[in-house]
Amino acid sequence: MRILVLGSGAREHAIITALLAERAGHVITCAPGNSGIAAVVETVSLDPTNGGLVAEYANENGIELVVVGPEAPLIAGVADPIRTRGIAVFGPSRAAAQLEGSKAFAKRIMEVAGVPTGRPVYAGTLAEAEAALDELGAPYVVKADGLAAGKGVIVTEDRDAALEHARYWLQHGPVVVEEFLDGEEVSLFFLSDGHDVVPLSPAQDSKRLLDGDLGPNTGGMGAYSPLPWLADHWGNEEAFVAEVTELVALPTIRRLEHEGTPFVGLLYCGLIVTEQGVRVIEFNARFGDPETQVVLPRLVTPLSELLFQAATGQLGGRAHPEFHPHAGVTVVLASEGYPENPMTGRRLTGVDEAEALDGVSVLHAATATLDGDLVATGGRVLSVSAVGDDFAEARARAYDGLSRIHLDGGQFRTDIAAKVVR
C-alpha cells in the first residue's frame, strides 16, 4: 500500500516503525518528518495543515491511505479535502475533530451521550473564572478551551496560580473550570470508522516534568503499557476495556454520527479511575504521544490493516487486535528549559549506540541534521522506547538506552514505570 503519514514527531515515527515492521512492502512517505523518520522513509516538505496541498500531493502520487498524526492538521480540516478526492484518510473531519479542539464541544457531546466526566463550569471573563473556582473549590482544575500543545491545563491547590492560568488563557478564548477528579489515569485508544470502534491496549503516561509527578504539565514525559494494576479493579484488562467501550467510546462515536459529524480515526480517551468509577478527563482526536510509543510496539495485528479498515468503514464485527504480552516503557528526553522556554540547536550524540541495544528503539521528535550533526530543534526531542519480558527488563533497557545519549542540559524523568516494577 502507498501510505502518506502527516506529522513530524515521535508519534509519527512510532506509526511508521510499526508499518515498516509488517514487511508488507508498503511505500511510505512522511510530511514533513524529522531526521529519524528521514533515515527510514522518504520525507517531503509539505505543510500538513494545508488540506488542499496534501490532497493534491496524495492524488498525484497514488496515495491509498493518509494517516494524520498531530492534532493541528485535524483541527484545520486537512482530512476533508482528502476525502473529497476519494482517498482513504485515517483522521476525523474538521467538524468531528472539535472533540479535541474545543473542551466545551466535548463536554456537550459527553453530556448528551451520558458519558461520565467531571462537572464543568465555563468562563469567558476573569470574574466568571473566579466565581467558578470558588464554586468548585480546591484542588483547582482550569483548562483552555482550545488547543494548547499540552500546556493548557493546570491542577493546583493554589488559587492564585489557578487564577493566573485562567487570566493567561482567557486572552485566547474561554476557559473551563472543572471538578477535580482523583485516581489513577489511563489512556485508551479506540479506532473508529464513524459507527463502530475497536480498542487498543491501555497505557499510562506521566504528564508532569519532574519525578514524583511534580513540576509543570507537559505534553508527556514517558509512558508504559499494559497496566497490570487494572486487575485490582476489573479482574483483567479485557473487562476494563469492555466497560470503557460501552460506557464511553461507543456512546460518543454514535452521538457524533447522529449529529451528522461521523468520527473516523483515533479516539483517544483520557480516563481516570475514581472511587465512583471511570470518568473521562479529556478526548483527543489522534494517537497520543508518548503512549503510542509503548502501545504500537506491542501490537501483533498489522497496523495498516486496522487503519485502512477504520478509514473505509470496515471495523464492524472484526476481532480485537492482538498484542504481545510483553511490557513496553518509553522515556522522553527533553531540552533544557522545557516546557516554558526550550533551548534548541544543541548537538545530540549516542543515538546509534542506544538503538543498537536489544529491544530498544529511539523515536525522534524534534530533531534535525545540521552540518552532519544531529541537533535538537524543540522541547521534547526524542523518546527512548523498550520492550521486555517484564517491566523490570523493559525499564532497564529504556534507561540503558537513554544513558548512551547526550544532550547538553537534557532532562528526563527517572521514575517512569517504577511503580509497576515495585
Residue 82, SS3 per DSSP = helix
Q: Using 70 as the pLDDT threshold, list the residues of the chain that sit under it.
A: 148-151
Range of the domain at 406: 327-421
Any idea what DSSP says for residue 97?
A: T
- Which CATH number does the domain housing residue 293 bear? 3.30.470.20
Task: State whether 190 and 175 are in the same domain.
Answer: no
Task: State whether 207 and 167 are in the same domain.
Answer: no
How far out from the chain centre does Cα 419 lie?
22
Full-model pTM: 0.94
Task: State whether 169 and 189 are in the same domain.
Answer: no
pLDDT of residue 23: 87
pLDDT of residue 354: 98
Residue 56, SS3 per DSSP = helix
Q: Which residues on neighbouring strands pair with residue 357, listed in sequence order?
A: none
Residue finishing a domain among 128, 159, 179: 179
Task: State whether 358 and 380 are in the same domain.
Answer: yes
Task: State whether 296 and 348 are in the same domain.
Answer: no
Q: List the beta strands (DSSP E) in 16-118.
A: 27-32, 42-43, 65-68, 88-90
pLDDT of residue 38: 97
Residue 28, SS3 per DSSP = strand
Q: How far apart are CA 167 and CA 371, in angstroms?
A: 43
Q: How far apart are CA 401 and CA 142, in angstroms?
A: 36
Residue 172 carries which side chain, given as an amino acid letter? H
Task: State whether 88 and 158 are in the same domain.
Answer: no
Q: Is 135 exposed, middle or buried (0-12, 13-18, 19+ CB in 10 A)?
A: exposed
Q: How far apart are CA 328 and CA 4, in angstroms?
A: 26
- Which CATH number does the domain housing residue 389 bear? 3.90.600.10
Q: How far apart are CA 10 and CA 49, in angstroms?
A: 18
Task: State whether 265 and 332 are in the same domain.
Answer: no
321 in a structural domain: no
Q: How far apart are CA 207 and CA 193, in angstroms?
A: 29
Task: State whether 294 and 218 are in the same domain.
Answer: yes
pLDDT of residue 146: 76
Residue 118, SS3 per DSSP = coil
115 in a structural domain: no
Nearest CA among 201, 206, 177 for reference residue 189? 201
Q: Grid coordinates representing 69?
A: 498524526
35 in a structural domain: yes
Q: Using an 8 Å Cβ cutoff, are 182 and 274 in contact?
A: yes
Contacts by 209-212, CB closer than 8 A, 24 or more apart: 209/334, 209/338, 209/339, 209/411, 209/413, 210/413, 211/413, 211/414, 211/415, 212/415
Task: State whether 355 and 279 are in the same domain.
Answer: no
Q: Using an 8 Å Cβ cutoff, are 163 and 130 in contact?
A: yes
Averaged pLDDT of the chain: 95
Q: How far apart are CA 146 and CA 105, in angstroms?
A: 10
Q: Using an 8 Å Cβ cutoff, are 144 and 168 in contact?
A: no
120 in a structural domain: no
pLDDT of residue 150: 61
Angstrom CA distances, 111 to 52, 114, 251, stand at 35, 5, 11
Q: What is the pLDDT of residues 359-384, one digit of tens each?
A: 999 999 999 999 999 999 999 999 99
pLDDT of residue 148: 66
111 in a structural domain: no
- Number of neighbours of residue 325 by Cβ within 10 angstroms: 8
Q: How far apart are CA 96 and CA 105, in angstroms?
A: 10
391 in a structural domain: yes
250 in a structural domain: yes
Residue finishing a domain among 92, 125, 155: 92
317 in a structural domain: no
Alpha helices by DSSP H, listed for 61-215, are: 71-75, 79-84, 98-101, 103-113, 126-136, 159-170
Length of the chain: 422
- Number of neighbours of residue 91 by Cβ within 10 angstroms: 29
How many domains does the chain fold into?
4
- Which CATH number does the domain housing residue 35 bear? 3.40.50.20
Q: How far apart are CA 257 and CA 109, in angstroms?
A: 11
Residue 319 carries which side chain, given as an amino acid letter? A
Task: State whether 208 and 302 are in the same domain.
Answer: yes
Residue finishing a domain among 311, 337, 367: 311
Cis status of the peptide bond prior to 32, with omega within 30 of 0: yes
Task: State whether 288 and 228 are in the same domain.
Answer: yes
Half-sphere exposure of 145 (CA within 13 A, CB side): 21
Q: Using an 8 Å Cβ cutoff, are 322 and 300 in contact?
A: yes
Residue 354, SS3 per DSSP = helix
Q: What is the pLDDT of residues 229-282, one digit of tens each?
A: 999 889 999 999 999 999 999 999 999 999 999 999 999 999 999 998 999 999
> What distance, in Å, lies between the first and last C-alpha atoms of the chain?
43
Task: State whether 214 and 263 are in the same domain.
Answer: yes
Q: What percent of the chain has pLDDT over 70?
A: 99
